[in-house]
Amino acid sequence: MKSTIGSLLASTAALYARGTLAVTDSFCPNSGDVCFRWGVPEASSSSGSGNIYFQIEAPTSTTWAGVGIGSSMTGSEMFLIYQDGQGNVTLSPRNGRGHVMPQHSQRSGVELLSGSGIQDGKMIANIRCSDCDSLDLQGSNSWIAAWKEGDSLDSTSLSESIQIHDEHTGFDVDFAQASMSSDTNPFTSTSSTDSGSGSGTDSNSDSGVVSESGGGASDTVLLAHGIIMSIVFIAGYPLGSMLMPLIGKWLFHAGWQLLVFLGMWAGFALGYVYARDGGYFWNQTHTQMGTIVVALIGLQPVLGWAHHRYFVNHGQRGIISHVHIWFGRSLMILGIINGGLGLQLASASKAYIIVYSVIAGISALLYVATICFGGLRRTARTKQMSPQMSQEEQR
């Protein structure tokens, strides 16, 4: 009888403990397979500081996944996970510095808890943070998340290099609705009973605990910016410059360069929107150099028109002609270099970098060959005109 009563009391206590835990349901952005959960002990919530618990869950087909405190990458406290190659996960706390690869930051208050590892084809990280002091433990907080599909990193290094994310998002978490009574790992004891666990839906959007705030401009904007500006600087402007030596028709040259000029501004606008929403515009060499180069290219149509008028009036090049030509060449070179910085900033794969470099190299060779061809043609034309001028002088 005593044994039965003891078992009943133990079961009741267990049910009570589970009932008072209010860990959030799984929040899975875009109804995907990457999910997050949070829990805040009542003691931490009451004092405004202390431990918080959160979980990152991602399929093993994901190279890495992470979540960060803040509304943008700049200044964000990030927590990245990836496979360590030994059946477990590596938890890497990092600091966001804009749209560049976040760097590892040593933090004694971040701990990987029991229940973490590789389970049923998923990476699971149960995390306790005792020094996440920037959070409002009684209110709503902004978070960002990102992940990258691909091969496993299989690394235990906390500073392992990562490639740019495939997807990212932003959202707010209301910690007032994530309070729990016990200051212990909530994910090992409640994962089997939480209604949202592994649901694969944005369940918290309905409950009000988690609300998506958007992750800024989409990766499609970044990709479009990169493609447009690459075409502009490694193909568009060089080809337009080659039209004059090849066919000698200024209207074709001017018309083509005008189209490329408009495309450049469209690409710049996309890049500006992405950088602005990411909170790092003018904070990186790429954005600074890109803005300056684009602004200076804005002078080229004026210089080109002045060069054309001088040539029409004098039948030869003048100082303004050489300014227009060499100013344009210098800006094209800077634009191509800045494109490389952009690839570096985006942590682009080696394949993208190789393709960009090869096309840029081919474009440079063709451009130099065209310049040489144009120079030879001008020399031949000058020699042809010289005898005619001599005959006129003899007459």
| Residues 64 and 100 both lie in one domain | yes
Residue owning tokens 């701990």: 111
Q: Looking at per-residue confidence, does 255 or 166 come out higher?
A: 255
**What is the pLDDT, as a whole number, of residue 205?**
41
Q: Are residues 177 and 245 in the same domain?
A: no
Same domain, 68 and 200: yes
Query: Do residue 150 and residue 277 come from a single domain?
Result: no
Per-residue confidence at 36, pLDDT binned at 50, 70, 90?
very high
- The reply to whether 60 and 109 lie within a common domain is yes
Residue 255 falls inside a structural domain: yes
Helix (H, G, I), strand (E, B) or coil at 251: helix
The answer to whether position 157 is within a domain reads: yes
Q: Please report, for the domain that includes residue 36, its CATH number.
A: 2.60.40.1210
- Structure tokens given for 322: 């050489």
For residue 176, is it within any domain?
Answer: yes
The residue from 174, 191, 212 where one domain ends is 212
Listed residue (98, 20, 21, 64) closest to 167, CA to CA: 64
190 and 58 assigned to the same domain: yes
Query: In this model, does residue 23 exceed pLDDT 70?
Result: no
3-state secondary structure of 302: helix
Cα–Cα dist 125/202, whole Å: 20
DSSP 8-state class, residue 282:
T
pLDDT exceeds 90 at position 299: yes
Q: Clarify whether residues 262 and 338 are in a common domain.
A: yes
Specify the pairing of strand 110-112 against strand 103-104. Answer: unpaired
Residues in Cβ contact with 317 at an 8 Å cutoff, skipping those fewer than 6 apart? 307, 310, 311
For residue 13, tell me if it sits in a domain.
no
pLDDT of 35 > 80? The answer is yes
Are residues 252 and 369 part of one domain? yes
- Which of 50-59, 149-158, 375-384 is least confident? 375-384
Look at residue 319 and tell me whether its pLDDT is greater than 50. yes
Are residues 308 and 180 both part of a single domain?
no
Do 262 and 378 share a domain, yes or no?
A: yes
Q: What is the Cα–Cα distance from 44 to 126, expressed in whole angstroms?
A: 18
| Residue 17, in any domain of the structure | no
Tell me if 271 sits within 8 A of 281, measured CB to CB: no
Which residues does 247 contact at the CB level (< 8 Å), separation at least 6? Answer: none
Percentage of the chain lying above the pLDDT 70 cut: 83
Predicted pLDDT of residue 75: 86
Range of the domain at 34: 22-212
Q: How far apart are CA 291 and CA 282, in angstroms?
A: 8
Please indicate, yes or no, if residue 16 is contained in any of the structural domains: no
Q: Is residue 6 part of a domain?
A: no
Residue 313 has pLDDT above 70, yes or no: yes
Last residue of a domain, one of 167, 188, 212: 212
pTM: 0.61
The last residue of one of the domains, among 194, 212, 230, is: 212
Mean pLDDT on 180-192: 78
**Joined tokens for residue 64:** 């890495």
Distance CA(394)–CA(287), nearest Å, equals: 62
Task: Encode 255-286: b = buried (16+ Cβ within 10 Å), e = exposed.
Answer: ebbeebbebbeebbebbbbbbebbbbbebbeb
Total domains, the chain:
2
My answer on whether 111 and 225 are in the same domain is no
- Examine the domain organization and report whether 174 and 31 are in the same domain: yes
pLDDT digit string, tens, across residues 250-285: 899 999 999 999 999 999 999 999 888 777 788 789
Rg from Cα positions in the chain? 30
Residue 392 lies in a domain: no
